[in-house]
Amino acid sequence: MTAKIIDGTAIAQQVRDEVAERVRTLATRGVEPGLAVVLVGENPASVSYVRGKTRDAAAVGMRSETIRVPADVSQEELLRLVNELNENPGWHGVLVQLPLPDHIDERSITEAVMPEKDVDGLHPVNVGRLFRGEPGFLSCTPHGVIQMLLRSGHDPAGKHAVVCGRSNLVGKPLAGLLMQKRRGGNATVTVCHTGTPDIATYTRQADILIAVMGRPGTIAADMVREGAVVIDVGVNAIPDATKKSGQRLVGDVDFDSVAQKAAAITPVPGGVGPMTRAMLLWNTVLAASGGPESLDR
């Protein structure tokens, strides 16, 4: 079997078109959705991710601004900035790009963003709502994965989904979404992690296999069931002398061999990454429309 490619770039464009339509509708009501992004320091990956987020916002007619803060900012100054953004009615969404420098307590910054503007869906209130199946902002990468599955004809309902990785950013909330009794959920979910002996025993049982480990080539062909749907959330830079930058991006899945066995697979780049940014815009439109309760997903 040679896998069909699940094209994240194309599906993200679909989502952005829908968001752009909602932005136009909001404009007729005098509402202009606004997204404030805080970027601390010069981490090259973060700089690149944030550039992608603001470029996508512009593409759907959304107002966004990146507030750049030096890496040696104090915790108090950063908290003050987040509070200012919280209180400014012009910003419907507020996002602090992670990771933060070591001297900053990431948890208190994440919790400082008010849940009603937490378009990242990382505040514990929104994470709690996600797990309880209540309206709240869904974290962007997990929601992007669900939308990718649905829109490519791979509804997780009734399937065995195996999530490899248990990060707060992706693994845990993704498992939470997949198990919900709602559209995009209803899967039977197994979560594998560094404490799982013989991970392949589980991955080989997956109808939908999701790799979120952050290590290149961790999922090899012998770990995948023939005909599985494989979603690669990993983004790893590896040395490549043929590239001008001296490196290239690969996922956690050994793409070439797994693509021979899977029914469908996401590429890296061009898979989950664009979906994460699209769902951020989606959340920002929801925030500007009166919150996640205001629209059906």
Neighbours of 29 (CB within 10 A): 9
Total residues binding ligand GUN (CB under 6 A): 9
Q: Does 210 bind ligand GUN (CB under 6 A)?
A: no
Q: Does 276 bind ligand GUN (CB under 6 A)?
A: yes
Looking at the annotation, which residues are catalytic? 53, 97, 120
In this structure, are residues 89 and 59 in contact, taking their beta carbons and an 8 Å threshold? no
Q: Crossing angle of helices 44-59/272-288, nearest 10°?
A: 60
Footprint of ligand GUN on 169-208 (CB under 6 A): 169
Residue 1 Cβ, how far from ligand GUN at the closest point, in Å? Answer: 32
Is 48 strand, coil or helix?
A: helix
CA dist., res. 278 & res. 136, Å (int): 17
Q: Does 97 bind ligand GUN (CB under 6 A)?
A: yes
Q: Does 118 bind ligand GUN (CB under 6 A)?
A: no
**Nearer to ligand GUN (CB atom), residue 26 or residue 213:** 213
Instruction: Give the strand pairing for 229-232 and 264-265.
Output: parallel
Helix (H) / strand (E) element for 19: namely: helix 8-28
Among 81, 95, 162, 223, indicate the residue that binds ligand GUN (CB under 6 A).
95
Residue 110 Cβ, how far from ligand GUN at the closest point, in Å? Answer: 8
Interface with ligand GUN by CB under 6 A: which range of 81-89, 94-102, 186-194, 282-290?
94-102
**Nearer to ligand GUN (CB atom), residue 11 or residue 169:** 169
Residue 55 Cβ, how far from ligand GUN at the closest point, in Å? Answer: 16
Residues with Cβ within 8 Å of residue 256, at least 6 apart in sequence? none
Among 116, 120, 232, 252, indicate the residue that binds ligand GUN (CB under 6 A).
120
CA dist., res. 219 & res. 2, Å (int): 17
Residue 24 Cβ, how far from ligand GUN at the closest point, in Å? Answer: 26
Residue nearest to ligand GUN (CB): 98
Q: According to the 3-state scheme, what is the secondary structure of 124-179?
A: HHHHHHHHHCCCCCCCHHHHHHHHHHHHCCCCCCCCEEEEECCCCCCHHHHHHHHH
Show the CA angle centred on residue 175, arms to residues 173 and 197, nearest 5°: 120
Q: In one letter, which amino acid is 135? A: P
**Nearer to ligand GUN (CB atom), residue 40 or residue 60:** 40
Among 100, 140, 210, 275, indicate the residue that binds ligand GUN (CB under 6 A).
140
Interface with ligand GUN by CB under 6 A: which range of 2-10, 78-86, 96-104, 254-262?
96-104
In this structure, are residues 272 and 233 in contact, taking their beta carbons and an 8 Å threshold? yes
In this structure, are residues 247 and 239 in contact, taking their beta carbons and an 8 Å threshold? yes
**Nearer to ligand GUN (CB atom), residue 97 or residue 152:** 97
Residue 40 Cβ, how far from ligand GUN at the closest point, in Å? Answer: 11
Residue 122 Cβ, how far from ligand GUN at the closest point, in Å? Answer: 6
Q: Does 98 bind ligand GUN (CB under 6 A)?
A: yes
Interface with ligand GUN by CB under 6 A: which residues? Answer: 95-98, 120, 140-141, 169, 276
